[in-house]
Structure 1
Amino acid sequence: MKSAVSALTLFSCLFAGYLHATPQLPDPTPATSSPAAAAQQAPQTAQPDGFSEFVEKLKREARQQGIRESTVNQAFATIHFVEHVVKSDQNQPEQKVLLDDYLNRVITPEKVAEARTQMRTHQQILRRTEQRYGVQPQYLVALWALESRFGKVQGDEDIFSALTSLAFEGRREAFFTKELIAALKMVDEGHIEASQMKGSWAGAMGQNQFMPSSYLRYGADGDGDGKMDIWNNINDVFASSANYLASEGWKRGGEWGQQVTLPADFDTALAGTKTAQRKTVAQWQALGVTFPQNTRQPDGQQNAWIVIPDDGQNRGFMALQNFRTLMTWNRSYYFAISIGMMADAIMRNDDNAPAKK
């Protein structure tokens, strides 16, 4: 469902759309212009040789997948090659970003303060969601904060043009073609109008930045109105995010992990999140892994993994099952650590927040 990206670049941490979900926003105001008028307003980028033929190929594949002709016509009415989308995909930064620099950039005091306010504001919705899916509110708010800054930054690229351009570029044609078909199914099934399919340049949409295939698989109706509106309905945003995590193995009430101290002779080959690399907390302690003073330690019989971010600082984190679940959302150590730390920060020094479990 997701495509692996480097955990060592800022891009991989900021654009989770490649993975899911997630791996941004259709305009909540219904479109009033016709497809023809919208096409005239679209940026006019010279189409590369073969693009028109590629579009026709995608149309044929969509029809073979059972997409209705009316949906195909609506989705492709304004189709155009988006050069900057392809350049963004090709020109991902190669320079490594230090973990501390990344965390300081994405977890700011202002964002933490707003997250606490938002969690209080939506406390009833979050508690209802937790009861249904078992995912604690602070993690849902942390994802919301880092994915779209509480729904404020969702993207305005035409999804069909972006995905078509990325598929045409060819580096990951199969992946982006699959996402394009999923986007067409979203329209064909009546979830959203074709003209409202807006999002990130990588194809992620909504306040939780789901890729189209993730929306179809994990989208949830949080308030019983018969819709899965991850663009405008916070009930559905939280329910969809929680459904994703619960479906991918979230441990109800569990935590993500914490930073630990590794012994000088620690065998780095033991580090990683594969199933075969797990040990109990007690077994890691027997190998010399220690916890910071005055921190709560997980149960010694709990399964855990050691993660060493490649940030040049040789530090380690003890990752629990929920960290591995966050890694299915975005296959980046930086991302999963940032979500865990953001969730911890939300719960820290806030008398009005629910007690940490």
Structure 2
Amino acid sequence: MSYGIKTMVVAFICFMLLGFSQIASADEFSAWLQGFRDEASAAGISADLLEEAFADLEPLERVIELDRRQPEFVQPFHEYLERRVTDARVAEGREMMARHAASLNRVAEQYGVQPRFIVALWGLESNYGRHTGSFSVIQSLATLAYEGRRGAFFRNELLHALKIVDAGHIPLARMTGSWAGAMGQAQFMPSTFSNFAVDGDGDGRIDIWHSIPDVFASAANYLSRHGWQDDQTWGRPVRLPRGFDADLAGLDKRARLSQWQQLGVRRLDGRALPTRDLQASLIIPEGVDGPAYLVYDNFRVLLRWNRSNVFAVSVGTLADLLAAP
């Protein structure tokens, strides 16, 4: 057999194998989807919605690519903070606090969460509502549930998403979000929506995509339900003495502010720490020669929102700048 013919044969075999693989994958997804439809139906999801949601539904390769890429990318702490807590974001956040002062104050009184933290979360999650994601939440979650790396988690989220649509909170076509299924201006996962989102404007629906009162009330309710204390802040940047023992840092260690004071820890400008003797942990994301923060219980609440120290520091830093004169 000549080289040219061999090449053609190999190419044909590869083509056939690829085609078979695609058909097999389509058959597998169809079978998976039918199993999920049975589960959703048993959970009370309407047949009409299931038909509409899953008509011609296919896995979205882009979602799988983004999911698999995540563990490979780690942004340095200082770069993450600088890119998210910008002068422009601070300026716009202050404008938003003034524009929505009445709504924010009502929410603060009802839920016990300072407005600056609600606005800081809003700014970091969706840039004050501008970037909420354009992926179909149903397609993204179905893709991730089928793909299997965290299949059980995303299967549960998909069921919650369908319940949200079935309850009339958002039309199916308008349920968009991030590639991972985070939704609306608060970027809630569907289960978070089910457990913590609330109707802030009193119209009988919960719309964290378009209703700013719903966004504010839902964010505040989440923080409040996880133990937020409105008589405290999140923490503060501090200065460490030369030769400080790095082994004292970590969220698993706590000491009172008076004890940190005795160890030589000071405010960033060199002044003494506050006299209110709160329990605090020290975090040093880039080692003892990098930025250091004493963080309080509210910081741990922010970690319930997003289990990332740098995210929680970013929220606290932005919130402090929003309140600065």
Partner Cα distance (1:313, 1:95) in 2: 24
Matched, 1:304 2:280: yes
Opposite residue 103 of structure 1, the aligned amino acid is L
Report if the CA contact (8 A) 2:112-2:230 is conserved: yes
Which structure is larger by alpha-carbon Rg, 1 or 2?
A: 2
Equivalent residue number for residue 325 of structure 1? 301
Equivalent residue number for residue 111 of structure 2? 133
**Residue 172 (structure 1) shift:** 0.5
After superposition, the Cα gap between the structure-2 partners of 1:65 and 1:267, relative to the gap in structure 1 and judged at 3 Å, is farther
Question: What CA RMSD, in Å, does the superposition of the two structures yield over aligned residues?
Answer: 2.0
**Residue 337 (structure 1) shift:** 0.5
**Residue 167 (structure 1) shift:** 1.1
Report if the CA contact (8 A) 1:160-1:180 is conserved: yes
TM-score by length of structure 2 reads 0.87
Q: Any idea what SS the aligned residue of 2:70 has? A: coil
Matched, 1:282 2:253: no
After superposition, the Cα gap between the structure-2 partners of 1:178 and 1:268, relative to the gap in structure 1 and judged at 3 Å, is farther
Report if the CA contact (8 A) 2:246-2:288 is conserved: no
Matches within 5 A, 1:215-234: 215-234=193-212
After superposition, the Cα gap between the structure-2 partners of 1:152 and 1:329, relative to the gap in structure 1 and judged at 3 Å, is same
**Residue 284 (structure 1) shift:** 2.4
Equivalent residue number for residue 18 of structure 1? none
Partner Cα distance (2:287, 2:247) in 1: 17
Opposite residue 319 of structure 2, the aligned amino acid is A
Deviations 1:65-92 (A, max 9, x none): 2222222222212422100101100012
Partner Cα distance (2:151, 2:272) in 1: 47
Which structure features the higher share of helix residues?
2
Q: How many residues align?
A: 302
* Larger CA deviation: 98-107 vs 156-165: 98-107
Which consecutive unaligned segments of at least 5 residues does structure 1 have? Answer: 1-45, 350-357
Matches within 5 A, 1:97-176: 97-176=75-154
After superposition, the Cα gap between the structure-2 partners of 1:121 and 1:294, relative to the gap in structure 1 and judged at 3 Å, is farther
Partner Cα distance (1:54, 1:310) in 2: 45
- Percent identity of the aligned residues? 44
Opposite residue 259 of structure 2, the aligned amino acid is Q
**Residue 269 (structure 1) shift:** 4.2
TM-score by length of structure 1 reads 0.79
Instruction: Name the structure, 1 or 2, with higher relative contact order (CA <8 Å, separation 6+).
Output: 1
**Residue 288 (structure 1) shift:** 3.5
Q: Any idea what SS the aligned residue of 2:267 has? A: coil
Opposite residue 299 of structure 2, the aligned amino acid is F
Matched, 1:236 2:214: yes
Opposite residue 114 of structure 2, the aligned amino acid is Q
Opposite residue 110 of structure 2, the aligned amino acid is R
Deviations 1:146-203 (A, max 9, x none): 1111111111111111001111111101111110011011012221222221111010
Partner Cα distance (2:211, 2:43) in 1: 30
Which consecutive unaligned segments of at least 5 residues does structure 2 have? Answer: 1-21
**Residue 264 (structure 1) shift:** 4.8
Which of 253, 261, 265 is the aligned partner of 2:239?
A: 261
Opposite residue 342 of structure 1, the aligned amino acid is L
